[in-house]
A = this chain, B = another copy of it.
Amino acid sequence: MTDAHHDEAGLLAAVTRYERALMADDLAVLDELFAPGPATLRAEGTGVLVGADHIAAFRAARGGAPTRWLRRVHVRWTGPDDAHVVAESERAQGAGVQTQWWHRDEAGSWRVHAAHVSGGPVDPRPDPAAADDPATWRLRGAPLVAGAGTGPLQGVRIAVKDLVAVAGQRVGGGVPAWLEQAPVEQAHAPALQRLLDAGAEVAGIAQTDELAFSLMGVNEHSGTPVNPRAPGRVPGGSSSGSAAAVAAGTADLGLGTDTAGSLRVPGSFCGLYAWRPTHGAVPVEGVLPLAQDVDTVGLLARDGATLRRGAAVLLGAETGSSRPEALLRSRFLTGLADPSTALAVEAALAALSVATGLPVREVDVPADAPAAWTAAFRTVQAAQAWANHGAFVEAHPGALSPSVEARFRAGAAVGADELAAAREVVARTRAWLDGLLTRGWLCLPSTSTPAPSREAGPEGFEAARAGTLQLTTLASQCGVPALGLPWGRVGELPVGLCVLAPRGADADLLGLLEALGPA
């Protein structure tokens, strides 16, 4: 029942070959991949075809299958040579599910012995409370800032995180006391300016967690934005309002920041594509800092194509097409997530393998490494955050909620030796990851759980944050780009698969999205 010792690579390669043949209506390959003989089964809707010949005749007569993109491939091994595979796909219209029993014959060839297909239109059912949620936006316009009128992002509506300078507005930082003392910005932040120049417009300024120092999307001042994809759940943060607005459809791109996961986490919780760039690849000028060593400015979108177009504008470069040799997966790292999340992310990873044709390779992560890199990151982050905002915190007692204030104050206590030791761990982690990423792109859960309940309370939020930081701070401290794919599902709750590429490989990483449709 475990796949540790099974031919995962061979099975996924066969599924890949099947999907490509299906999209190409390559009857010879499809017939080859179904087991010959009278016992093979194919079910759809209300009926079952029995026998390879009947299935082949049906296939020859139908003239191709609807285009589909796999999003989750659940693999359950039923024996050394048998796997039960349930694949979920998006279609141009709607979605579908296929169940396949694959068997490896004595010659080593994987073939389908039974299949069951279903599908139909999908009702995305975003929470209706989301569209006009006052906790999502600090300021909206129609638009708030017009774009260049033409360009690759023409008509794309941006939800700007309230850390990013919008000319003529103040930066609020998710803290009323900060907003009060903030100057009116004279210019757009350069990252925003690039998007506007490319035709995008600012729909409004979206809420953020207090000074971006939180991952849950809970803000005691402005409230917790509605998570349109997970009613009753937090949206994740700190780019909480941007994520909620994009998920609700009131914006198309979320412009936010990611220090410890502030794009990847709300992307995971709200079911969005998320991109944290290589550290330094997108200008952070005009953006309120949290911890400059690890701060980045990136994007959220409902679909991969919009994310890719927005990212190309921010990078000033078209997305690339270089591919790694493999997708790397550490079962240990994936297992840091809760069991349901780990299974969901495994299913998303298998779908990514099928969609890209890249094999999944298991890699080793030292058992004590995640705790060490997380602690080192938190030390560096806290020290820098205190250096940035300690004076404000001291000058405005009570301006921050107690849990956020405690995080800042932890930075005050970091000594020089402690900081140096932490930077040492960061340097070792970078060297280790750089080596690993020469072998492929590392895939891991974006978060350790799906979105917690809004009622989880401080301990619940802290547990989710602590579990997630072990996963998110690896990319953060190593400065590598990370792409969050919103394909996992725990019940109906989305959860992200995160792909880490070498530093500077943003264009190639985003180029992955081209194979993943819809365009």
Contact = CB atoms under 8 A, between A and B. Distances in A.
Interface of A: 1, 38-39, 41, 43-51, 54, 57, 72, 74, 76, 78-79, 82, 84, 86, 88, 94-97, 99, 101, 103, 113-114, 116-122, 339-340, 343-344, 347, 489-491
Given A46-B120, A51-B491, A116-B97, A79 B82 contact: yes
B118 A101 contact: no
Contact of A491 (B39, B45, B49, B84): B49
Closest 3 interchain pairs by CB?
A46-B95, A118-B118, A99-B116
A255 to B, nearest CB: 32
A118 B43 CA distance: 9
23 contacts: A1-B103, A41-B76, A41-B86, A43-B86, A43-B99, A45-B97, A45-B120, A46-B97, A46-B118, A47-B88, A47-B97, A50-B344, A51-B490, A54-B491, A78-B82, A78-B113, A84-B101, A86-B116, A99-B114, A99-B116, A101-B101, A117-B118, A118-B118
Given A41-B76, A50-B340, A78-B82, 6 more contacts: A45-B97, A47-B95, A48-B74, A51-B340, A57-B491, A78-B101
A114 B116 CA distance: 12
A114 B86 contact: yes
B113 A116 contact: no
Contacts of A51: 340, 343, 490-491
A45 to B, nearest CB: 5
A1 B114 CA distance: 12
A394 to B, nearest CB: 46
B343 A118 contact: no
Contacts of A74: 41, 48, 50, 114
A103 to B, nearest CB: 7
Contacts of A84: 41, 84, 101, 113-114
Contacts of A120: 45-46
Contact of A119 (B1, B45, B57, B113): B45
Q: What's the dominant secondary structure at chain A's contact region? A: strand
A121 B47 CA distance: 11
Nearest to A119: B46
A422 to B, nearest CB: 35
A202 to B, nearest CB: 35
Contacts of A88: 43, 46-48
Nearest to A79: B79
B78 A79 contact: yes
A467 to B, nearest CB: 16
Contact of A76 (B39, B79, B489): B39
B76 A48 contact: no
A114 B77 CA distance: 11
A492 to B, nearest CB: 8
A38 B340 contact: yes
Nearest to A82: B78
Contact of A118 (B45, B76, B122, B489): B45
Contacts of A50: 74, 340, 343-344, 347, 489-491
A44 B121 CA distance: 13
Contacts of A121: 46
Contacts of A103: 1, 78
A1 to B, nearest CB: 8
A114 B95 CA distance: 19
Nearest to A90: B46
Nearest to A491: B54
A516 B234 CA distance: 50
A88 B490 CA distance: 29
Contacts of A38: 339-340, 343
A354 B121 CA distance: 33
A48 B97 contact: yes
Give the most central of A44, A45, A99: most B CB within 10 Å.
A99
A504 to B, nearest CB: 36
Contacts of A113: 76, 78, 84
A238 to B, nearest CB: 29
Nearest to A489: B50
A205 to B, nearest CB: 35
